[in-house]
Structure 1
Amino acid sequence: MSYLAEYIWIDGTKPTAKLRSKTKVLADGAKPGTWGFDGSSTSQAEGHASDRVLKPVASYPDPIRGGDNVLVLCEVFNIDDTPHESNTRALLRPVAEQFAGQEPIFGIEQEYTFFQGARPLGFPENGFPAPQGGYYCGVGADEIFGREIVEKHLENCLKAGLNICGINAEVMPGQWEFQVGPVGPLEVSDELWVARWLLYRTAEDFGVSATLDPKPAQGDWNGAGAHTNFSTKAMREEGGYQAIVTACEALGAEGKPEEHIRQYGAGVETRLTGAHETAPWNEYSYGVSDRGASVRIPWQVEVEKKGYLEDRRPNANVDPYVVTRLLVDTCCAALDKAGEA
């Protein structure tokens, strides 16, 4: 008896990578192994030397096909067994290993927007819907669009064994969010990419597309982000508030805001304007319960003097391997230096 393995990988499209996948039929008992693909069709090679290699790194039950079928997340390698330049997971691996003793964990809030044709789902053919205000966590057919797809996506993620921990309608019609975590940097990044693949694949069955565009509708509408919640063991322990402040200060140290922001997703300046619950992209700030700051310390964290921070700057289209690497590298190094790890 054979089963199907859907090989999923991140391509080399710039400035924002896309997901690709293809199916392999495997004999019962056989494990998904390395496989090849045409890199010239995914912006990862040129036609005269187009072979690229897929190496499985994680496997999940396939909730769409069911049965013994699986989703196989892969890293992309060159034929000389070096990571391809588009393989950002390979850059995260040594950083995650270096600071594993600090036990960093993440929860990422993935916002996205459904489109039907050229307009966000719920936008009328002519003109615009009522101003934002009632759509966030709303209920009713006059304010909520796409719930059937969202519920099916949640079901698929849970069947795949992903650590998805919530969903909600967002501020604009057709805009939603799901959250993945709290788990380690590699796990949260792997699962977010798979959850994105499942989002696109689920919406496909409804004739709807999903986009991670950071500003899907121009005008007085919120953009779409991937707020990234981060903590270390020291932050979570009693008295961990000082470690949180140290991390926030490190994120604002000379050169760090620029280093992070330029890797937080294409088009970040269209979303981080200082309006719509954002800080300006070229200014850094942190504060308690402040959704207009670059980094927010939740109110309960200040009360309990331990917990986590929320980096509100990453775009919906950010590469999770990149944002987790940057946060671990910047914050954990600062905690080590301060003797607070």
Structure 2
Amino acid sequence: MSLLSDLINLDISETEKIIAEYVWIGGSGMDLRSKARTLPGPITDPSQLPKWNYDGSSTGQAPGEDSEVILYPQAIFKDPFRRGNNILVMCDAYTPAGVPIPGNNRHNAAKVFSHPDVVTEVPWYGIEQEYTLLQKDVKWPVGWPKGGYPGPQGPYYCGVGADKAFGRDIVDAHYKACIYAGINISGINGEVMPGQWEFQVGPAVGISAGDEVWIARYILERITEIAGVVLSFDPKPIEGDWNGAGAHTNYRDTLRTEGRLRTWTRTLSLP
């Protein structure tokens, strides 16, 4: 196993080539997919990246008789898993004719955020993403007795201690990996239900907020994969009087009118 570990962590920076992991949203609207390709050298802007394709019939995004879907690179991040000059690439998806596939909400969002009136307002977002860590074999929150329940909610929110905080190693690994990747992650905390946590992304301007949240979710999915834990964004993972999970979205814009600066803030709670 030590040889395998050595190869996984092998530094390829002495070569000119890099690995780009193309990431996109699958057919459910919440599942993440990715595939890797080798590129001849470092990349500094997504416009330098080639488009790529995948089999949309295998992701619920195209019929079997016409399954090709094209990935358009939109944002790049440092890869905390391969490191060096290797990158993660946030993509959206199109037909071979260049038409956004159903579910490609980023395409329309880009139109909105690039509008001069919207650019002038400088829309800031802060997104609080809650999630639950589940035991792999039983799909039950980590720290919970199999088939049973922990003590009542109360001591777990921002809690400290082996009987209150479950999965902190995963959470901290995700926190640092996001900072390494260049995501503007602003904090983490334990949530009300044991085995439940939250991370915050922002402030981020415009469409970059969405790109950063999706890559942060991807990184978290990869880390839980390594740890043998299942990640859930289910808004109500456990029935009964247990805390739910959502993505609270804080919004603020800044608009300069008649020489004066106006700012306002509101918060949306999304499932």
The TM-score range, normalised by the shorter chain, is 0.7 to 0.9
Residue 243 of structure 2 is matched in structure 1 by 222
TM-superposed deviation, 1:194: 0.2
TM-superposed deviation, 1:207: 0.5
Q: CA RMSD in A?
A: 1.8
1:167 partner SS: strand
TM-superposed deviation, 1:234: 4.4
Residue 9 of structure 2 is matched in structure 1 by none
**What is the aligned counterpart of 1:108 among 103, 123, 127?**
127
TM-superposed deviation, 1:28: 2.3
1:233 partner SS: strand
Q: Quick check: 1:168 aligned with 2:217? A: no
> How far apart are the structure 2 equivalents of 1:194 and 1:233?
26
Q: Quick check: 1:45 aligned with 2:62? A: yes
Which structure shows the bigger proportion of residues in strand conformation? Answer: 2
TM-superposed deviation, 1:158: 0.4
**What is the aligned counterpart of 2:91 among 67, 74, 82?**
74
Q: Quick check: 1:12 aligned with 2:27? A: yes
Q: Quick check: 1:133 aligned with 2:157? A: no
| Counterpart code for 1:72 | V
Residue 181 of structure 1 is matched in structure 2 by 202
| Closer/same/farther in 2, CA of residues 199 and 50 from structure 1, 3 Å limit | same
TM-superposed deviation, 1:180: 0.4
Residue 320 of structure 1 is matched in structure 2 by none
**What is the aligned counterpart of 1:96 among 106, 110, 113?**
113
Q: Render the CA deviation track for 1:99-122: whole Å, top value 9, x for unaligned.
A: 221111100000000001320111
| Counterpart code for 2:132 | T
Residue 308 of structure 1 is matched in structure 2 by 265
> How far apart are the structure 1 equivalents of 2:88 and 2:230?
21
1:232 partner SS: strand
**What is the aligned counterpart of 1:144 among 136, 141, 165?**
165
Judge conservation of contact 1:5–1:32 (CA < 8 Å) in 2.
Answer: no
Identity %, equivalent residues: 46
TM-score of the pair, normalised by structure 2: 0.87
> How far apart are the structure 2 equivalents of 1:97 and 1:5?
26
TM-superposed deviation, 1:206: 0.7
TM-superposed deviation, 1:199: 0.4
TM-superposed deviation, 1:307: 4.8
Residue 204 of structure 1 is matched in structure 2 by 225
Which structure shows the bigger proportion of residues in helix conformation? Answer: 1
> How far apart are the structure 1 equivalents of 2:238 and 2:264?
34
**What is the aligned counterpart of 2:75 among 21, 34, 58?**
58
2:38 partner SS: strand
| Counterpart code for 2:56 | G
TM-superposed deviation, 1:126: 3.4
* Number of residues of Structure 1 aligned to a counterpart in Structure 2: 246
Judge conservation of contact 2:154–2:192 (CA < 8 Å) in 1.
Answer: yes
Q: Render the CA deviation track for 1:60-86: whole Å, top value 9, x for unaligned.
A: 110111111110111101100111122
2:76 partner SS: strand
TM-score of the pair, normalised by structure 1: 0.69
Q: How does 1:188-267 map to 2 (within 5 A)?
A: 188-234=209-255
